[in-house]
Amino acid sequence: MAAIAVLAVLLRVPLPASGLAQPATPASPQLVILDTDIGDDIDDAFALALALRSPELHLLGITTEFGDTALRARLVDRYLKAVGREDIPVRAGIATPASNHFTQAAYARQAPDRPHGDAVDFLLAQIRAHPGEITLVVIGPQGNVRAAIARDPATFRKLKRVVMMGGSVYRGYDDAQGSSRPPDAEWNVKCDPAAVRALLASGVPVFMMPLDSTQVKLQVQDQEKIFSHGSPLTDQLTLLYHEWAGDRPWPVPTLFDPVAVSYAFRPDLCPATPIRLEVDDQGYTRPVSGAPNAEVCLRSNEKGFLDLLLQRILQ
C-alpha cells in the first residue's frame, strides 16, 4: 500500500479511502450530426436509438434526407419528444422525388407540422462553429452532402470525417435464402451517385460501411427482447417496426444503418481497409487501383455489434 501511495504522489493521482487510484475520466463525447432518411426502412429508427443511448456521442442535430424530408423531420420530432430529447435540433433536408414507400408516415403525421429550417445551412453552420471536430454520420442518400459541398466546399472540408452506410464492394444484397449475391447498386448510392462521387473527392476522410459488412439480421428472439421491454425508447421502436412490417408476420429487419453509427465509437467492431472506389452512374461502387479515397469495412463482428445494440437499447 505504501508503494501505491508513493506512485500516486508521483503521478498526482488522487486516492480514495481504499487507497486505490480512481478510474480515468472518460474522453469527451464526439460531436456528431446524423443525416437520415428515417421512415422508409426500419433500420434508421434503430440507428437513432443507438446514437441516443451512446454516451460516446453528442448529437448536435439530426438532418433528414431524401423524398419528403419535412415529413421525416416530423417523425424525428415525435420520436425525440417521446424519449425526452427535444433538446436536439431537427432540420429538414433537400426534398427529392421518391417512388419508394414511406412506411412510417402515419407515425410521422401525428407530430405537429412546423418549420424545421434548412439542413444544409445547419450543417455548414455547425462545421464553422466546430471546425475539425464533427463526425457526419450519413445513413441515407446524400443529397444534403452534395448540396453542402456545392454551397461551401471549403467549410465542408473542415468536417473531421464522414461515416456513411452505403456501397457494395464485393457483396451484394442477400437473396431470399440468405445467400450473398454479386455486388449490387446499393440503394443509398444508387439514389444519388453524383453525391457520393463529390464526397469521395471532397478531401474529407470517408469511412464506408457497405453491404459487405452491414447485413446484420435482428432475429425474432432479439425483437421480442426489445418490443417487450416497455421503455419510452423501445415503445417507439415497437410502433415504427409494426408500421414498417404492415401485414407481414414478424419480418426480420436488416440493421444496415446502426452499423455505421456503431463505427463512430466502436471501430473495432468493423475494421476498415483503405480502398480506392469509383462510383458509376448506375450506383455501383467498384474497387480500382490507385491511391485510396475511402476506408471501407468489408466484414463486421456481427455478434459483437448485436450485443452492443441490445445492451444500449435495453438500458
In this structure, which amino acid lies at residue 185?
Answer: A
Residue 86 C-alpha cell reads as 427535444
Contact 37, 44 (CB under 8 A): yes
Q: How many residues does the chain have?
A: 315
* E strand or H helix at 277: strand 272-279
Q: Taking CA 124 as the corner, what is the angle to CA 122 and CA 209, rounded to the nearest 5 degrees? A: 95
What is the second-level CATH architecture of the domain 27-313? Answer: Alpha-Beta Complex (3.90)
pTM: 0.91
In this structure, which amino acid lies at residue 226?
Answer: I
Q: What is the pLDDT of residue 2?
A: 43
| Per-residue model confidence as pLDDT tens digits over 89-121 | 999 999 999 999 999 999 999 999 999 999 999
User: 101-129: buried (b, 16+ CB within 10 Å) or exposed (e) per residue?
Assistant: ebbbbebbeebeeeebebbbebbbebbee
Q: What is the pLDDT of residue 6?
A: 37
Closest CA relative to residue 160, chosen from 43, 25, 60, 88: 60
pLDDT by 10s per residue, the chain, length 315: 444 443 333 333 333 333 333 333 357 999 999 999 999 999 999 999 999 999 999 999 999 999 999 999 999 999 999 999 999 999 999 999 999 999 999 999 999 999 999 999 999 999 999 999 999 999 999 999 999 999 999 999 999 999 999 999 999 999 888 888 999 999 999 999 999 999 999 999 999 999 999 999 999 999 999 999 999 999 999 999 999 999 999 999 999 999 999 999 999 999 999 999 999 999 999 999 999 999 999 999 999 999 999 999 999
Q: What is the pLDDT of residue 1?
A: 43
Q: What is the pLDDT of residue 174?
A: 94
Listed by start position, the domains of the chain span: 27-313
Q: What is the pLDDT of residue 176?
A: 81
In the three-class reduction of DSSP (H, G, I as helix; E, B as strand; rest coil), residue 96 is classed as coil
Q: What is the pLDDT of residue 11?
A: 36
CA distance 186 to 192: 11
Quote the crossing angle between the two packed helices 256-265 and 302-313, to the nearest 10°: 90
List Cβ neighbours of 177 (8 Å cut-off, separation of 6 or more): none
CA dist list (Å): 188 to 166, 206, 210, 253, 254: 6, 15, 10, 17, 15
